[in-house]
Amino acid sequence: MPRPRSLTPARIATAALAVLDRDGLAALSMRAVAGELGMGTMSLYRYVEDRDQLEGLIVELVLGGIDLELPPRTSWRKRLTTLAERMRAAVGGHPAVVPLLLTHRHRAPSSARWGEAVLGVLTDAGFTGKRRVVAFRVLIGYLLGALQAEHLGPLSGPGTDALAALPPAEFPWLSETARDARRLGADEEFRGGLAVVLQGMGLSEEDRDD
């Protein structure tokens, strides 16, 4: 029996993402995606090897929509901010994808293209060699960590309330900071943290000679 022309990797990824968005990561399975596509589980195996491949297709679908065109004549910090915010926006529409970024971003061509764009900006800014490696890793580390914090442990969640309720006599700084955190929006938190990271990445004259 020939494969239907309409059953493309993009269509499979769209069905898998629908399952993920609706039912969460724990519910993602070959059977669930096959049901979303209106086909038998064994038929889906003709196109996809296993759940691991499904997860990779989802990551590629989500990251594939990121615009990599950057405004001309802007600072390197502004360009990196733009790329980071576009990644956050793409993932923000599908919070259950966040854990998959850690295990599948290296396989996704769209992730590689985003990384190439980031490295191009860093190179234009004068980062080379080991310092470019560190700068790239720091930016990736902040972005992935911020996405996890925003979607898996947001400041608007019960954890912040629990910390704010700690006895001030024993935890003066933690309780006060948690109370302040309740007034901090997700956008302000992300952009403020990213600004700190990019400021710390600034090159000195000595750095440029490494």
178-205 per-position pLDDT tens digit: 999 999 999 999 999 999 999 998 754 3
Give yes or no for a contact between 182 and 161, defined as CB atoms under 8 angstroms apart.
Answer: yes
Query: Whole-model pTM?
Result: 0.87
* Burial class (CB within 10 angstroms; exposed 0-12, middle 13-18, buried 19+) of 207: middle
pLDDT in tens, 130-175: 999 999 999 999 999 999 999 988 998 899 999 999 999 999 999 9
Per the rule left: phi > 0, alpha: psi between -120 and 50, beta: everything else, 38 is: left
Task: Identify the residue whose tokens are 């580390």.
Answer: 141
CA-to-CA distance for 158 and 138, rounded, in angstroms?
29
